Amino acid sequence: MLFSASYNEATCASIGGYYSQNDNGCFYNSTSSCSYWQEGQCYDRYDTSLSKAECDDANGYSYFYSRCYLSNYFCPDFSRSHRKCYFHKSASYDCRTCRLLDGFIDSGTCHYKSNCSHPLFLANNGQCYENQTNMRTAAECRSVSARAFHGEGMCYFSVSLCSSGYEVNCQCFAHKSSIYNAGSCGNFGGNYTGGECYYNSSHCPGYPINGQCYRQSAHCSLSTCQNIGGYYEYASASHLIGTCYYNDFSCSGFSVDGRHCYTHRANYSRATCRNIGGIYGYLYTGREYRGGNSSVSLFSSRTYHCLYETFNCAG
């Protein structure tokens, strides 16, 4: 086994060695596993988006070609959006605990720097709180804060982020309403939870129709609009095709040309398909089809079906 007093803890970890605090050095077998050597130390990766100050904060080595060399030991998890290094991850921490640990939540996982310790308090529900006090009952504890936790005769609670209004998922909102659906709520920046929309402004950036907010509009059939969860509106009684207001073209049935959505599929002939108001198309991928008019020749290498809503034969 080899020994080096010049290698730091990060280099020792990167080459699979053991760093001895007593000997102030690294015991190792080989340096072949090192990805990048810079100034006598080993680094695991590099990033070209960091400034020198950010690189220094991450204990990296800043090279003049705009490269910041980083080690997994000093910076195991670097967030480009937050411009910080994080050392731990947990899918069990809620947003309040994550905030107290100077972290952030991404896809349900809290990325944070340090564990819950003094002056914070770790409760036996696995969450971290700002305050701890003796209380006999859970009812007494909840009177302090609706989000307080009572365990083993102790009440744990944190100060609310919001001086007024509503706190939902560590965000502050001025209003709440059960009128708006989840799609509308998300369209004007609200948070839809428990059948309620929490929001600061109900200004709709898209189409405010029928008391809801929609992102997109298109001319299509009533059935297609209903199948994608939209709201259909005729311009006048004489118009056969109206306007569909919707958020996403999310067709749970069979989509044709990205503009039609049908719930049924069958091996009907092209003529029958046309007579029942369907579209004769070939399978493109998954549940997506490409259609064509009656003059388009059929290709034997393609799989054709009739996509339709109801078998409404006028003949």
The region that residue 189 occupies, defined by phi over 0 for left and psi between -120 and 50 for alpha, beta otherwise, is left
CB 22 within 8 A of CB 83: no
Residue 122: the pLDDT is 96
Per-chain mean pLDDT for the chain: 90
pLDDT of residue 43: 97
Beta-strand runs (E) in 84-226 = 84-86, 88-90, 104-106, 109-112, 121-122, 128-129, 131-134, 149-151, 154-157, 166-168, 171-173, 175-177, 191-193, 196-199, 207-209, 212-214, 216-220
Q: What is the rounded CA–CA span in Å between residue 219 and residue 48?
A: 46
Query: Model confidence over 57-110: pLDDT tens digits?
Result: 899 998 766 789 999 999 998 887 778 899 999 999 999 999 899 898 888 899
What percent of the chain shows pLDDT beyond 70?
A: 95
In a 13 Å sphere around the CA of 239, the CA atoms on its Cβ side amount to 12
pLDDT at 40: 95
DSSP 8-state secondary structure symbol assigned to residue 235: S
Confidence band for 48, pLDDT divided at 50, 70 and 90: confident
pTM, full prediction: 0.58
How confident is residue 53, by pLDDT bands cut at 50, 70 and 90? confident
pLDDT of amino acid 167: 84
DSSP β-ladder status, 45-47 and 41-43:
unpaired
pLDDT at 130: 95
pLDDT at 264: 95
Tracing tokens 């990325």 back to the chain, one arrives at 111
Higher pLDDT, 314 or 39: 39
pLDDT of residue 65: 67
Amino acid 235: pLDDT: 74
* Cα gap 301→155, rounded to integer Å: 70
pLDDT in tens, 127-181: 999 999 999 999 999 999 888 999 999 999 998 888 888 988 788 999 999 999 9
Q: Is pLDDT above 80 for 15?
A: yes
- Give the per-residue pLDDT at 315: 65
Q: What is the torsion angle, in degrees rounded to the nearest 10, for the CA atoms of residue 11, residue 13, residue 18 and residue 20?
A: 60
Task: Give me the mean pLDDT over the 22-36 stretch.
Answer: 96
What are 263-306's pLDDT values in tens digits? 999 999 999 998 998 999 999 988 999 986 555 566 777 889 99
Q: Which residues contact 243 (CB under 8 A, 6 or more apart)?
A: 217, 218, 219, 232, 233, 235
* pLDDT given at position 185: 95
In angstroms, the CA 128 to CA 147 distance is: 12
Model pLDDT, residue 298: 65
Q: What share of the chain is helix, strand, coil (3-state, %, to 5)?
A: 15, 35, 50
